[in-house]
Structures are given as C-alpha cells and as structure tokens.
Amino acid sequence: MLGRIVASGCFLFCLAVAAQKPVAKAAPVVRHAWDDATLSPDERAGLVLAEMTLDEKLAMIHGMKPEDAPGVKFDPSGSVEGVGFLPGVARLGVPSINMTDSAVGVRQPEDESRYTTLLPSSFALAASWDPDAAMRYGQVVGRELHELGLNMSIGGGVNLMREPRGGRTFEYAGEDPLLAGTLVGTLEAGVHSEHVMNDIKHFALNDQESGRRQVNVVLGERAMRESDLLAFEIALEIAKPSAVMCSYNLLNTDYACENSYLLKTVLRDEFHFQGFVVSDWSATHSTVKAAMAGLDVEMSGGKFLGKPFAEAMKSGEISPEQLDSMVRRVLRSLFASGAVDDPPVREIIDPFRGREIAQKIAEESMVLLRNEGATLPLSQGVHRVAVIGGHADVGVLSGGGSAQVAAPGGNAVLKDGKPAAGPTFFPSSPLREIQSHAAGASVTFDDGMSLSAATKAAKDAEVAIVFVTQPMREARDAATLSLPDKQDELVEAVASANPHTIVVIESGGPVTMPWKNKVATIVEAWYPGIGGAQALGDLLFGTVNFSAKLPGTFPASEAQLPHPVIAGSDMVPQPKGQPAVIFNANYSAEGARAGYKWFQSEKKEPLFPFGFGMSYTTFAYSDLTVNAEKLAVSFTVKNTGSREGTDIAELYVALPVAVGESFRRLAGWQRVDLKPGEAKLVTIAVDKRMVSIFDTATHSWQMPSGAFEWSAGGNSENLPLHVSMVK
C-alpha cells in the first residue's frame, strides 16, 4: 500500500487521507451514551427511551407529515417525502424514519425515481429459485433507498398465491411456503445489508384484493401455520426485519392489525419477532384493542394511535409501560438495522449498475414452457422475423399500485405523442433486441390490433414472435385467468398462419392458454424489469440458457381452483357514509393445500405444474439416498444434453399415510450448474418443519412416525427418484 502511494507521487497528501479515514471510523464522536455501537440494539434503545419525553414518544407511534404536527418537537427537515414518515428526535440524535414502497424497486415521485431500478417482479424472482439472486435484488433496493436519503423499505410481500387472479401476485413469491419464505427473506436480508430498515408484509392471509379491507378470512390454526404463516416464519428468520406490516383483511373475525392471535401469539411469542408492527395504510381500526393486540405504529396518520392514544393514556386505559414497549421496538429496529450508525446520504444513483443486476435476474427468471421442434434457440442466420403485439416495439410491462416504479421518461407507450395513461411499459424494447441479435434479418413489427394484419405479417415471416400482456395491479383482482383484450384470438390467428409461432407472455402470474398445443414455443417472461428485453433477446437466441421454473401452478381453467369465483368479487360498494359489509373468504376446504398441494390431492391436471421449466439441455437424476438422522437427502443430477445449463433440482416429501395428506411437500432444492456430460451430487439439508405437522395443542412442530416417501427430479409432477424412510 505504502509503496503504491509513494510511487504515485502523492506521498504526504495520500498518507494523511489514508490515516484519517480509519481513525474517523474507529472512533465516531460520542455525544450520547447510545452512540456506542458496541452496545446491543436493546441497550441502546433503552438508553434513548429513558431520555424521551411523553410527547416525543407519542409522536413516534404514528405516521405524520411534518406539517401535521405543529408544536411537536421533532425534526421535520428529516422528511424526504417517502410514502411514510415517523419523526425522530433531533435533540437526542434519533433520526426520523423515511420509508417508501420498494417491492420491485424503489417507488418515489417521478423526478426522484427516474434513475431507480425496476427489477423483475418478485414472482419472477421466485421463478429463479435463487437465494443469491434474491440477495442481489435486495441490495439494489437497499442501496438505491440509501442513495435517495431514505432509511426504510416497505416491500417484502410474502403472501402465498392462494388466488392466482390476485392483483398483487406479481409482488409475491408464489404458492409454496419454503420457496416464498426463503426468497423474500433473503431479499429483505439484502436490503438490511445496506443499512436500511426492512419489512415483511402483509401479515397475514391478505391473499386476494377483492374486498381487501372487508374480507374476513376463515382458516384453521394448523392449516395457516403450515402454509401462509410458515412462509412468514421462514422469511422472518432469514430477514430479521425491522418491521412487519399487518394487513387490511380480517382473520377469523378480527382485523389483522388488532388480531392478538396474529400479532401476539404468533409473531411475538412464537416467532420471537423483535421489530415493530406497522399497520398497512389506514388498516388500523381501534386504539386500545389494536395497541393491546400488538400494533406498534399506525400508518399513515394518527387516527387511532395519535390523539385517541394520548387520551387513552390519560384515562388509564393504556399504561406508560405499554407506550414504552412500542417505542422501544421502533428504536431497537433503528439501531439494529444500522440506520443510526450509517445514515443515508443523498447521492446520484448509478442506473447502469442496477440495470445490469436486473438483467441477470431476468435471465434467471424467464421460464421456457414449451419448445416443439427446437424452435428456440433462434439462429442468428434467421431471415424474416415478425414481431407482433404487446407493445414489444417500445418496452416491457410493469405491475401497478404501490409497487409501481416510475418509468424513465414516463410510459414507453405513447398516445398522441405523450406517455399514455394505463399500464406502464418500461423502455426496454424487445423488438430492438431481436433486431440486434439477428443483424442480417428483416424484422418487422405489427401492433396486433388487427387480426388480418397480424396474420399477414406472420405468414410472410419464417418465425412469428407474438407478445401478449396481462396488466395486474394492487386493489384489483383479475376477473379471469384469460388474457385480456382478445389476445387469445390474436395468438390463434398468428399460430394458424405460421407453424413457427413463439408466444412471449408478460404477466403477473398464471394465465390460461387455450392455444397451448397450437403454438411451437411458449416463454413466460413475467414483468421482467428494466433489463427485460436484453435478457429475453439473449434467451431467445441462446446466448444464455433458460433455467427458471414456475413458483406457482398454472391452472388449465378457473374451474380447477378451490374458489372458481373469488369471494367478494361480486360485492357492490356501499353508498357513501355506510359501513363496509364484512364478508367471508372461507379457505377451510383447501386448508394448507395452497397451489400444487390442492391440484395433487384433488387429482386435477394443471396446464403447467409447480416447479416446471425447460432448458436447452436435458438433465437426468439418480441415486437418491436419505440420511434419516441428519435429515439430509442426496441425489445426483447429470447434464445429458449437449449444452451447458443450470438445473433446479427439486426434492419433495410425502408424510406418512396416517397424517392424511395426499400431496407431496417441497422439501428443498438446489440450482446446479452443469457442463455437457457433467454430473454432480446434490445434498439438501431438510428443515424439520417440512416433515412435521403443527400441533395446535402444544403449539409446536411434531414429526409424525411412519414411512416418509422422498421424491426428487425436475418438477413437482415429474419425479423419477423415490425412496422411503421409516421414522
């Protein structure tokens, strides 16, 4: 080091700089006892709390805009206009909390988030089955929040896909608790690694958007612990989140944000969650009941935990200790996240760094669902390609609602020369990428609005690539799983004109495909983010191999679902001023059998099963062995094709017959990179909960005795290896 400094001719200056930095880091100026970073977050929180006034504490348990709180002694200059703000205490060096939505990238007003990265949707990330990708995803979100001066992320949706028409499916991570919990937990650990407070939401059973503020979910304890709550449990263990957001819905007759079973029994007593519970926006319904049930912070205002809380304290209904415990949890999270020791400093975001990561994740997340006659990969020598529909000339689709990231330059789809209203397309043009891969070809674009024009374009080409889109957004479920706007007819028309039809789907989750057997190739690209077209181009032309697999079952029709009609989808809004009518979504019949577990036990054949996805190469599986003592399962995966590829090798377990489950549970997986002919031994350490049932009498996981059937292979319905283990 010294040698290099001398050689560069800046000896004295550089030495001084080199000497300064470590000193500054090792010994920050200690103004308060809690500045001492060697103390635990709990100790530091306790020290601050002892110095806070009642008003300062009361201001910390509900959101506010600085202008909402004249006379309150906090530092309003701390607000950088995220979607939520909790005032800090400037005199004690406690920073304000500035939070914003960041499910699939940082959401800020357009002038702020012009350079933030739109990542592939969370559902797409889940299709990678790759915790490393989830970590990188979370780091992009955390870093960009930090660079925008924000210190808290509100993302981390881990609700299970019980309802594939769900408007927020794209913000969640599929239908399996182990897969969803692992990926969302790791993503949020990535956010945390950037010293940004993180959260997990929407707790819990907020699995549909229809009537989301008035739906009462009915489900038994064992079923929820083995499904939705297990996803939360796993995510919480990995992410150690600063906050958990309670949801809009009711669960077994209590609103989630005042549900003491959820917030106390499960979250605090059994999951040992140490952060704070924050309500979804206007999801708080009471003061005393909510606080006593375990709600710590009301967002986005103080309708219940503002003035009414102070009054309840005066009347003795709420004790000072109760307030202290709520504030302590907020303070603890501030210290535990690193947000106090490494406060955000506004910087310019590097859009290219984020984009490169987004593209890599997109490459790992697009699923090859069908490829007859090896239509893909396309040859670079292809002569005539017709690209049709889906605004593929200008961009790729993104999901709407609070997860919506602003597109650079506004919607890439224009109307009258201006960014169009409606679903937002990001400027990542599939047409341009296809053109650049097939440099010598004639590549045409037809917008797909006229069936006859699209048919003609397809007829004139060697290959037709038709893009179809399913826009989805928060607060609205899709009425059906069918593609909207007669796009099924478009695909049928193109397929009848060209035998080499490739369909690229940009959807939030599953869609139906009445034309499945009439087209050569199907690629599910999801909402692929700002590097989506580049990733797609590389996959279509085989520069990169497909590796992703479905994180959720694609049903053949709505009739196969536990609820062919979504509960509450026929509700008409109450006249203004009338209370909303509560209705039930009764999930008791399917219980823990979300997704593939329902399809297996009801013997329904889906369009594409959970865990399915193809590659340009092929894989074979052998030698399944189980170490019952260690709960470790091994098998060999071999690349039997002629191309390098990555397999997601999947392991499932069926519990002893006496348990009464007629499905296999995902027990683990591994992504394996293999050269042609190469074989690798995969060993999966199985979490005991995957082979246990939740015993509601003892509130604990119990492994039943009997014969466990282990199966391994390439997807939930194609498992060539089986072995029995008696316990």
604 burial type by CB count under 10 A (0-12 exposed, 13-18 middle, 19+ buried): middle
Kindly state the smallest distance separating residue 348's Cβ from ligand BGC, in Å.
25
Work out whether 281 is an interface residue with ligand BGC (CB under 6 A): yes
Q: Binding string to ligand BGC for residues 610 to 649, with x set by CB under 6 A, is what?
A: ----------------------------------------
Kindly state the smallest distance separating residue 227's Cβ from ligand BGC, in Å.
21
Work out whether 203 is an interface residue with ligand BGC (CB under 6 A): no
Residue type at position 466: V
Which lies closer to ligand BGC via its Cβ, residue 154 or residue 196?
154
CB 388 within 8 A of CB 494: yes
CB 204 within 8 A of CB 283: no
What HEC string does 286-347 produce? CCHHHHHHCCCEECCCCCCCCHHHHHHHHCCCCCHHHHHHHHHHHHHHHHHHCCCCCCCCCC
Work out whether 280 is an interface residue with ligand BGC (CB under 6 A): yes
Kindly state the smallest distance separating residue 100's Cβ from ligand BGC, in Å.
8
Coil vs helix vs strand at 26: helix
CB 555 within 8 A of CB 481: yes
Work out whether 228 is an interface residue with ligand BGC (CB under 6 A): no
Which lies closer to ligand BGC via its Cβ, residue 112 or residue 650?
112
Which lies closer to ligand BGC via its Cβ, residue 83 or residue 522?
83
Task: Tell me how far apart the alpha carbons of residues 124 and 525 are, in angstroms, rounded to a whole number.
Answer: 8
CB 565 within 8 A of CB 521: no
Kindly state the smallest distance separating residue 99's Cβ from ligand BGC, in Å.
8
- DSSP H or E segment with residue 329: helix 320-337
Kindly state the smallest distance separating residue 510's Cβ from ligand BGC, in Å.
22
Q: Which of 402, 424, 521, 553: binder of ligand BGC (CB under 6 A)?
A: 402
Q: HSE (CB half, 13 Å, CA atoms) of 232?
A: 29
Work out whether 524 is an interface residue with ligand BGC (CB under 6 A): no
Task: Tell me how far apart the alpha carbons of residues 378 and 403 are, in angstroms, rounded to a whole number.
Answer: 34
Kindly state the smallest distance separating residue 281's Cβ from ligand BGC, in Å.
4
Task: Tell me how far apart the alpha carbons of residues 312 and 402 are, in angstroms, rounded to a whole number.
Answer: 33
CB 88 within 8 A of CB 74: yes
Task: Tell me how far apart the alpha carbons of residues 275 and 39 are, in angstroms, rounded to a whole number.
Answer: 17
Work out whether 101 is an interface residue with ligand BGC (CB under 6 A): yes
Which lies closer to ligand BGC via its Cβ, residue 256 or residue 494?
256
Kindly state the smallest distance separating residue 45's Cβ from ligand BGC, in Å.
25
Q: Binding string to ligand BGC for residues 29 to 68, with x set by CB under 6 A, is what?
A: ----------------------------------------
Q: Binding string to ligand BGC for residues 129 to 168, with x set by CB under 6 A, is what?
A: -------------------------x--------------
CA angle 193, 195, 196 (to 5 degrees): 105
For tokens 């001398």, the residue is 6
Residues 432-491 that bind ligand BGC (CB under 6 A): none
Spatial CB neighbours of 456, under 8 Å, sequence gap ≥ 6: 497
Report the 10 Å Cβ neighbour count for 202: 26
Q: Which of 179, 125, 137 is nearest to 669 (CA)?
A: 179
Work out whether 207 is an interface residue with ligand BGC (CB under 6 A): no
Give φ, ψ of 14 to 5 degrees: -65, -40
Which lies closer to ligand BGC via its Cβ, residue 60 or residue 243?
243
Maximum CA extent, the chain: 81
Q: Which residue is nearest to ligand BGC (CB)?
A: 402
Work out whether 83 is an interface residue with ligand BGC (CB under 6 A): yes
Work out whether 108 is an interface residue with ligand BGC (CB under 6 A): no
Which lies closer to ligand BGC via its Cβ, residue 404 or residue 615?
404
Which lies closer to ligand BGC via its Cβ, residue 258 or residue 538?
258
Size of the site for ligand BGC (CB under 6 A): 7
Coil vs helix vs strand at 524: strand
Which lies closer to ligand BGC via its Cβ, residue 101 or residue 538?
101
Binding residues (CB under 6 A) for ligand BGC: these are 83, 101, 154, 201, 280-281, 402
